[in-house]
Structure 1
């Protein structure tokens, strides 16, 4: 099976890319399965608070399956565009999903696989993992969003350095630059990912969704507009969340915001 789906903890769903023989490269059917799995997770909002994306074997995801593309997809412009559109749609769904999405990165996260990680909310990486956008090395351009997401996450100068050279970074370097949230030794990656997923899943589902929306809008809005958006979201949360009163009393009083 190209994808494995399980529930390793309450309110946590895990999608594992499972094309070990192709280093979890994305051909058309695999990408469609991933898109469907993300849609199913979104439909389970509330019951599922955290989505973990990971890869089997030696890689998180090595990108588009170049062998599959060369089998006739690249020669068929319409088919190639459909694949690119599906990739963007899948990654945008991850970005806008109500769940917090964790990328657990082992081995290689390259080109389209790197873009998959960029679309997730948090990255946890093996310290020795290899991450990078290598499109330029093959005289290709990104179609999964790295040209837009990487400058927003790293700043223009550093992002341009990686985009125009095609160089890779290690998981440790990604964490040191703030691109990854955590970098851990390889043997600790699975347990560290699950521990973080469980910690996040303890929070109120609506609060998690709202916090994700506010933080992502901070990347797009001027500060004054962002602050107004924060106040508006807080008002929405106060009127919708049945757990708000319990949460306020849990802080020892009714003061604060």
Structure 2
């Protein structure tokens, strides 16, 4: 197994994936993107016994974006190879977003350009107070290839999204929370604990329930309200047929009250 991506299954119901190219600020090259895709396939295959996937980075950053040095050394000049890289990056972002498990991105240091695009596909983000999150494609006359131009305005609103995309503006951890990009900010030394506490809280839930809730929200938010409400009822009934946890939860609550 390549050590550019570390996989930790030591916590029940939680898998921690750590980008491990610290010398390049965990910048994305072809090998790392393919490796991530392989591991995400393994996560989906694990089914509901795996509840939460935590994605983080080693060293000084979460991910500084695509590895421009690697691209400049030959991939950029090879149109086919460059196309494969961006196809894989796009597939990675879609894969993260569509994973049945809850994906928590833990952001410290930098999450820039392609690194921000990956972060945007997580279901929720914890960020260090001193983190810097931004889409800096425009500063190098580049255009996003991992969905950033579409997902960022949907996360933070059109005006704020355009502001970040057209100026390269970076957000601090607290700003990312206030803009709705992240759910919690913490001092850097406390970030690991904050993230794992969040993950453990969800890992105690039924895996089918978590996957169903994620599906309802992810799909429903793109639908008209009436269609989203229908989707909720359909998925609720489907979940009840698949798992006994719903009936058990009601029974447990009733027994406690009595």
Using structure 2 for the length normalisation, give the TM-score. Answer: 0.96
1:103 counterpart residue number: 105
1:185 is displaced (CA, Å) by: 0.8
Tell me, yes or no, if the aligned pair for 1:17 and 1:56 is still in contact at 8 Å.
Answer: yes
**Mapping 1:138-177, distance limit 5 Å:** 138-177=140-179
SS at match of 1:124: strand
Structure 2 counterpart of 1:217, from 185, 202, 219? 219
Tell me, yes or no, if the aligned pair for 2:101 and 2:210 is still in contact at 8 Å.
Answer: yes
Per-residue deviation, residues 43-94 of structure 1 (Å, max 9, x unmatched) = 1112211000000010000010000000111111111010000001111111
1:214 is displaced (CA, Å) by: 0.7
SS at match of 2:49: coil
Establish whether residue 240 from structure 1 lines up as the match of residue 242 from structure 2: yes
Tell me, yes or no, if the aligned pair for 2:64 and 2:112 is still in contact at 8 Å.
Answer: yes
Question: 1 CA distance for matches of 2:253 and 2:127?
Answer: 33
**Mapping 1:1-257, distance limit 5 Å:** 1-252=3-254
- Corresponding residue pairs, total: 253
Q: Which runs of 4+ in 1 moved over 4 A?
A: none
Question: 2 CA distance for matches of 1:33 and 1:167?
Answer: 30
Unmatched segments (≥5 aa) in structure 2: none
Question: 1 CA distance for matches of 2:133 and 2:254?
Answer: 44
1:250 is displaced (CA, Å) by: 2.8
Question: 1 CA distance for matches of 2:160 and 2:219?
Answer: 22
Alpha-carbon RMSD across the aligned residues, in angstroms, is 0.9
Per-residue deviation, residues 172-221 of structure 1 (Å, max 9, x unmatched) = 10001111011111011000111110000110000000000111123200
Using structure 1 for the length normalisation, give the TM-score. Answer: 0.96
Question: 2 CA distance for matches of 1:246 and 1:47?
Answer: 18
Unmatched segments (≥5 aa) in structure 1: none
